Amino acid sequence: MEHQQSSHHHSGHQHAGLIQILLDCAKACEECAAACLDEKDVTHMAHCIELDRDCADICFLGAKLLMRDSEVSHKFLVICEEACRLCAQECSMHDHEHCKRCAEACRRCEQACHEHHGAQQMN
């Protein structure tokens, strides 16, 4: 029996710009988490570190899903948007330069994910 490859999930969209934004955000989050560990009061930075790590992992995975044009990539961008929003909120509460850079990258990524997934709902 011949197996037919279903291409219904392949959108044909060019995702290079969004992939780069996701990777830039993940990098900013990883750098922020590492820098937070060097702060005097690491305990005060614990929630920031947790959100940085979550956001970095989620953005890396989002980029990978887009690279392979996964059929769940657009739905996953809803999760990316939320992770970026939470991380940006937390980083905005700190005066460290690495937190400011991270918050900016997260806001940019949050917006890009929102624009890309449109009205996608998690079903």
Residue-wise pLDDT tens digits, 53-103: 999 999 999 999 999 999 999 999 999 999 999 999 999 999 999 999 999
Specify the CATH number for the domain of residue 94. 1.20.1270.360
69 part of a folded domain: yes
Average pLDDT, the chain: 88
Q: What is the pTM of this model?
A: 0.85
**pLDDT at residue number 30:** 98
- Using 50, 70 and 90 to split pLDDT, how confident is the model at 121? low
Separation CA 49–CA 30 (nearest Å): 9
**Total number of domains constituting the chain:** 1
